[in-house]
Amino acid sequence: MEVLPQNVPIVRNICTSIKQFCPGAVVIIATNPVCPLNYALYLCSGLDRKKLIGYSANDSIRFRELTAQALGVKTSRVEATVIGEHGNSQVLLFSSVKVDGKPVAISDDIKKKVRQEVADIPAVLEELRIATGRTAAWTTAVGLTAVCRAIIRNTGETLPCSVVLDGEYGCHDLSMTVPAVLGKNGVCEILEWQLPPDENEALQNSIDTLNPAMRYVEEFLHTKRNS
């Protein structure tokens, strides 16, 4: 969020080229803070909101990996999704966890363990960068490949993406991570999952965290596109 003021004008300038050279494109933004920048892209470009995808799947990739470790199973056997802000208020949907395609109940102890490990990720990544000069960017490569594959092959795969919302999850004029069905035209459908009370409460907190950034983007751009 600290670099939002520097990145909004960059997105605005890129939008000029998008409108000139590829107005029919599906656009994937993988720059942080991705949720407000995807909203800025929407306001600047004039494109349909469902052709704009904010890449935020790293949260879900790491959530799945940490949950698999806690359960003692291979990551490839686990499904798990994160929604809300791509940031500190992200919502870990333990209700979405499946092993071998079947829902599983997650104990409070495992939830506590995984939440703490997720909270520790920024410090762990910084230690890795300092020690090796490398980042953990392989998650971005894996996730972006999955998003592009779903679009190019028109698979209808459900992946977590930051999408501008128009009533979904009770939100308007805001972009955040939601489960989205992807195809050749971008976002085919936004899935509104029924969440347990604690996850609903966490999601509302994430929405409240994101709202000021969205209003900042609107004020900066001095515009607000009518849906």
Residues 1-43: tens digit of each pLDDT: 888 999 999 999 999 999 999 999 999 999 999 999 999 999 9
Tell me the mean pLDDT in the region 73-98: 96
- Specify the range with the lowest mean pLDDT, choosing from 41-45, 103-107, 119-123, 213-217: 119-123
Cβ atoms < 10 Å from Cβ of 161: 29
- Closest to 145 measured CA to CA, from 39, 51, 22, 57: 57
Candidate from 30-44, 122-136, 152-166, 187-201 with smallest mean pLDDT? 122-136
**pLDDT(212) > 60:** yes
- Main-chain dihedrals φ then ψ at residue 223, nearest 5 degrees: -155, 155
- What integer pLDDT is reported at residue 227 of this predicted model? 39
pLDDT over 50 at 167, yes or no: yes
Provide the β-strand partners of residue 163: 176
Neighbours of 222 (CB within 10 A): 7
Residue 86 annotated to the active site: yes
Residue 218 CB: number of other CB atoms within 10 A? Answer: 16
Q: 3-state DSSP call for residue 184?
A: coil
Average pLDDT over residues 130-155: 85
Q: What percent of the chain has pLDDT over 70?
A: 91
Q: What is the pLDDT of residue 226?
A: 42
Strands, sheet with 102-103, edge to edge from the N-terminal-most edge strand:
78-83, 91-99, 102-103
pTM for the full model? 0.90
Catalytic residue chosen out of the listed positions 45, 86, 91, 177:
86
Instruction: Tell me what pLDDT residue 125 has.
Output: 64
pLDDT at 127 over 80: no
Beta pairing partners, 93: 81
Q: Which tens digits make up the pLDDT trace of 51-67?
A: 999 999 999 999 999 99
What does residue 163 show for φ and ψ, rounded to 5 degrees?
-130, 145
What's the one-letter identity of residue 33? Answer: P
Residues 76 and 48: beta-carbon distance below 8 Å: no
Residue 174: how many other CB atoms lie within 10 Å:
24
Tokens for 148? 């592009």
Ordered alpha helix ranges (H), 22-85 = 34-45, 58-71
- Looking at domain 58-217, its CATH architecture is Alpha-Beta Complex (3.90)
161 vs 226: which has the higher pLDDT: 161
Delimit the domains of the chain by residue range. Answer: 58-217
User: Do 199 and 97 form a contact (C-beta atoms < 8 A)?
Assistant: no
Task: Tell me what the mean pLDDT of segment 165-177 comes to.
Answer: 97
Per-residue confidence (pLDDT) for residue 225, from 0 to 100: 47
Mean pLDDT within 154-182: 97
What's 84's DSSP letter? B
Question: What is the per-residue pLDDT for 138?
Answer: 78
**The pLDDT value given to residue 76:** 95
